[in-house]
Amino acid sequence: MANTNPNIILNTSSTIWCMLKLTNIIYNYKILNLVAIGFEDNTIIIINLLSMEIHQTIITKDTVYSIAQFKNDSNYLICSLSNGEIIIYILKGNKYEHLQTLEKPKGLKKGEINKVITLLDGNLATAERGALSIWKSKLTLGKKKFEFFKEIITENDTCQLIQVNPQFLACAIYSTELIIVYK
């Protein structure tokens, strides 16, 4: 029986860093109405908005700064962490599979990844301290995996990132009042 309480109270003292309304997750022949919340205490909690109950909890290695999902392949949940890693999960009903952990190659600028987004071409882009990075997708055993492709040095702490169109990315700079557009 569904919870008739229109609220959910999460028993945590942790700071919320990000939220994302998930799309098109199918479980038991139903499309679920889910939201993912990333916390400072290394946790992602996925809530079923129809029942107002926790659908699943994912424990990560560090603070979850952002969460992304592909529009055309919604079972992939991607999160960026304060330790400079990107974790890719595959959501399977009420379970998940840790698919891949991404880190920039040695010798490149590393720091927390403030924002991860999925690009229209199926790749990933990240906003970081001092850089933007592009991660190319490749199929491995029928699953989409990623590898580092390119770094764009910004010299600033980029905190937000959007794809304006297939050729342009725009990022917000944390300490200045600038938005920079890259082709």
Number of domains the chain is built from: 1
**Dihedral (C-alpha) 48, 64, 92, 135: value to the nearest 10 degrees?**
140
Residue 52: which domain range? 16-182
Residue 10 in any domain: the answer is no
SS3 91: strand
Is the Cα torsion angle 88, 150, 111, 103 positive or negative in sign? positive
Q: What would the mean pLDDT of 136-146 be, rounded to a whole number?
A: 86
CA-nearest of 88, 72, 16 to 47 is: 16
Q: Is the pLDDT of residue 169 over 90?
A: no
Write phi, then psi, for 141 (nearest 5 degrees). 50, 40
What pLDDT is attached to residue 2? 53
E strands, 33-109, where? Answer: 34-39, 43-48, 53-59, 64-69, 76-81, 86-92, 95-102
Residue 68 in any domain: the answer is yes
Residues near 164 by beta carbon (within 8 Å), at least 6 away in sequence: 170, 181
Residue 30 in any domain: the answer is yes
What pLDDT is attached to residue 110? 73
User: Which amino acid type is present at position 73?
Assistant: D
Residue 80 in any domain: the answer is yes
Query: 50-64: string of b/e by CB count within 10 Å (b at 16+)?
Result: ebeeebbebebebbb
What confidence tier does 28 reach under pLDDT thresholds 50, 70, 90?
confident
What pLDDT is attached to residue 4? 59
Q: Which two tokens stand for residue 85?
A: 């890693």
Residue 67 in any domain: the answer is yes
CA distance 7 to 3: 9
What pLDDT is attached to residue 75? 85
CATH of the domain at 156: 2.130.10.10
Residue 2 in any domain: the answer is no
Q: What is the widest separation between alpha-carbon atoms in the chain?
A: 54
Residue 6 in any domain: the answer is no
CA distance 103 to 84: 7
Q: What is the pLDDT of residues 75-106, one digit of tens each?
A: 899 999 999 999 999 988 778 999 999 999 98
**Dihedral (C-alpha) 9, 15, 21, 25: value to the nearest 10 degrees?**
-80
What pLDDT is attached to residue 125? 94
Q: What would the mean pLDDT of 155-164 be, rounded to a whole number?
A: 83
Residue 4 in any domain: the answer is no
Q: What is the pLDDT of residues 29-63, one digit of tens each?
A: 877 889 999 999 999 999 988 888 888 999 999 99
What confidence tier does 5 reach under pLDDT thresholds 50, 70, 90?
low
